[in-house]
């Protein structure tokens, strides 16, 4: 546009000068004034031509340089994006990109207490799971916890964070690699009415269950022992364990994660958040959390993998069929193991199909009972758990646990909901299905755990 204006202006100026020379020649004839006007006009015309030539040359060279710079800039952006992906550095996405990738957030694949997960496809064809954190009050804290915990860690048994979208207002978004076979709960628990639009799952074979147990243990061991700062997951449960196309387990959902220094033994927390049935006793009693808190939750998951049932559930009361009562599976397991009836706790669907290794069942159950010991100091580290499951360390018979918090762990109507737990000293005023004296139970639990 500038070049066209220069040419137009130069042409008008030259024409005007030529007209001036012609008019001067007609009026002044060959006088001295005419020659002065004529000479000045020619000089100006030549100057205009020189200016136009220089301007066109300059603009042409500028266009070439701009084209080169754009090409180099594009190559640098591509290279930078490639290096970020290779290094595993999360990418900051624009909201518009995520909206297009998920087709307006239509494909819902999971929903929790404070977040929803949608399947999407990025422009480069990468399948992703976009987690939308909906909770306004906890959204920022959960978003920052998850990014801080997972952004810098890389392990085959941890889900990979590809990017994020931190808008000025809620909700916020986290972009993960898409894991095709969903979460572990779909594969070990009998199917219920699905709350998801994409229905997957089935009854996982015993060999795969044992492999999943090892995969999860390796992922948690990496978080506890091999990271620069130890990472406590604090929400280990089947819903947060994903399975890829080869049924390799990946630990996910770091919204409650805490980072602690290598020299710290535990971390105090102001509120109790997590999922009923997986919360360690020391957390319920507000005595701080540590890596042994994750070990307890992992032990509960092991029992669910073996039994194919939830740790806390409602069952029919044998005395009165019209009523239901709370049943705590770990207590049943503990009793069956002491009675030598180990195989009675195995998922009946597995027993019907066959192929269950009793030696491996014993290993998983004994490891699980070690992990759910009420005193944290009795629980093994996740590194030792891996060694026990892979046969490098002998699994000793676990001590008999009193499980004094059985009734406290079953005070809710839905044992799978994530919660913000109230203080335990206020629970005695709440109406529950149990006639337990919470004050005395709390006192007993504190006494038992004092030897941690």
**How confident is the model at residue 397, as a pLDDT?**
92
pLDDT given at position 357: 93
The helix/strand count (H/E) of the chain reads as: 13, 14
| pLDDT in the model for residue 324 | 80
The pLDDT value recorded for residue 350 is 93
Q: How far apart are CA 41 and CA 36, in angstroms?
A: 8
Catalytic residues: 235
End-to-end CA distance of the chain: 80
User: What phi and psi values does residue 395 have, to the nearest 5 degrees?
Assistant: -95, 110
Rounded Cα distance between 82 and 163, Å, is 14
Contact present, 165 and 98 (Cβ < 8 Å) = yes
Task: Spell out the residues 6+ positions from residue 87 whose beta carbon is closer than 8 angstroms to its own.
Answer: none
CA dihedral 380, 384, 390, 391 (to 10 degrees): -80
326 pLDDT tier (thresholds 50, 70, 90): confident
Q: Confidence class of residue 416 from pLDDT cuts 50, 70 and 90?
A: very low
The Cα angle at residue 26 between residues 25 and 31, in degrees rounded to 5: 50
If one compares 273 and 110, the residue with the highest pLDDT of the two is 110
Q: Which of the pair, 71 or 95, is modelled with greater confidence?
A: 95
What are the residues whose beta carbons fall under 8 Å from the beta carbon of 88, sequence distance 6 or more?
Answer: 154, 160
pLDDT of the residue at 306: 97
Distance CA(136)–CA(169), nearest Å, equals: 9
Q: How far apart are CA 116 and CA 110, in angstroms?
A: 6
Instruction: Name the pLDDT band for 157 (thresholds 50, 70, 90).
Output: very high
pLDDT at 410: 46
| b/e 146-178 (16+ beta carbons within 10 angstroms → b) | bbebbbebebebbbbbbbbbeeeeebbbbbbbb
Lowest mean pLDDT among 120-124, 299-303, 362-366, 384-388: 120-124
Q: 426 falls in which pLDDT band (50, 70, 90)?
A: very low
Give the pLDDT score at 163.
87
- Higher-scoring residue by pLDDT: 168, 368: 368
Residue with tokens 């676990």, as numbered in its chain: 398
What average pLDDT score do residues 150-156 get?
A: 83
pLDDT value, residue 190 = 85
Residues that constitute the known binding site: 131
**Which domains are seen in the chain, by residue range?**
2-87 (no CATH), 89-178 (3.30.200.20), 180-449 (1.10.510.10)
The pTM for the full model equals: 0.73
Tokens of 417: 């909901």
Stretch among 152-166, 237-251, 320-334 having the lowest mean pLDDT: 320-334
The pLDDT of residue 331 is above 60: yes
Q: Where are the alpha helices (DSSP H) in 88-163?
A: 95-101, 136-150
pLDDT tens digits for 401-410? 777 665 454 4
Residues contributing to the annotated binding site for ATP? 131
Mean pLDDT value of segment 393-406: 81
The dihedrals phi and psi of 238, each to the nearest 5 degrees, come to -55, -35
Give the pLDDT of residue 76: 64
Q: How far is CA 1 from the centre of its chain?
A: 51
pLDDT above 50: residue 399: yes
The pLDDT mean for the chain works out to: 80
Crossing angle of helices 291-307 and 329-339, rounded to 10°:
70
CA distance 151 to 126: 18
* Per-residue confidence (pLDDT) for residue 19, from 0 to 100: 84
Is a pLDDT exceeding 70 seen at residue 115? yes
pLDDT of residue 417: 44
């Amino acid at each position: 546009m500038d070049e066209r204006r220069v040419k137009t202006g130069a042409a008008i100026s030259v024409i005007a000068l030529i007209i001036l020379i012609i008019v001067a020649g007609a009026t002044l004839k060959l006088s001295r004034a005419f020659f002065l006007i004529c000479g000045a006009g020619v000089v100006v015309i030549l100057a205009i031509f020189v200016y136009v030539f220089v301007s066109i040359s300059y603009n042409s060279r500028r266009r070439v340089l701009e084209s080169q710079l754009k090409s180099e800039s594009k190559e640098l952006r591509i290279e930078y994006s490639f290096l970020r992906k290779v290094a595993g550095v999360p990418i900051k996405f624009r909201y518009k990109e995520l909206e297009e990738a998920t087709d307006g957030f239509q494909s819902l694949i999971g929903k929790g207490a404070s977040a929803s997960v949608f399947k999407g496809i990025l422009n480069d064809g990468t399948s992703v799971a976009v987690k939308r954190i909906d909770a306004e009050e906890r959204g920022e804290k959960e978003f920052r916890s998850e990014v801080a915990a997972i952004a810098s860690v890389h392990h085959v048994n941890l889900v990979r964070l590809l990017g994020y979208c931190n808008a000025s207002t809620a909700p916020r978004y986290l972009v993960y690699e898409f894991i095709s076979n969903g979460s572990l709960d779909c594969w070990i628990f009998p199917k219920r009415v699905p709350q998801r639009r994409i229905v997957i799952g089935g009854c996982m074979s015993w060999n795969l269950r044992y492999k999943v147990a090892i995969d999860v243990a390796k992922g948690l061991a990496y978080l506890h022992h091999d990271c620069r700062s130890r990472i406590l997951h604090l929400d280990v449960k089947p819903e947060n364990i994903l399975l890829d196309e080869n049924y390799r387990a990946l630990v996910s959902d770091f919204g409650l994660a805490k980072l602690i220094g290598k020299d710290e033994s535990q971390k105090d927390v102001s509120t109790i958040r997590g999922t009923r049935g997986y919360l360690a006793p020391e957390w319920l009693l507000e005595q701080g959390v540590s890596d042994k808190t994750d070990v307890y939750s992992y032990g509960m998951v092991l029992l669910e993998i073996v039994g194919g049932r939830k740790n806390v559930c409602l069952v029919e009361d044998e005395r009165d069929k019209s009523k239901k009562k709370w049943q705590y599976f770990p207590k049943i397991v503990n009793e069956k193991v002491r009675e030598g009836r180990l195989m009675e706790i195995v998922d009946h669907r597995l027993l019907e199909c066959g192929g269950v290794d009793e030696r491996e069942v014993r290993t998983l159950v004994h490891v699980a009972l070690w992990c759910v010991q009420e005193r944290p100091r009795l629980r093994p580290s996740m590194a030792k758990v891996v060694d026990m499951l892979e046969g490098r360390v002998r699994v000793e018979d676990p001590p008999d646990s009193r499980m004094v918090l059985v009734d406290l762990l079953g005070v809710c109507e839905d044992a799978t909901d994530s919660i913000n737990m109230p203080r335990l000293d206020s629970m005695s005023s709440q109406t529950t299905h149990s006639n337990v004296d919470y004050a005395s139970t709390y006192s007993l639990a504190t006494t038992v755990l004092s030897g941690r």
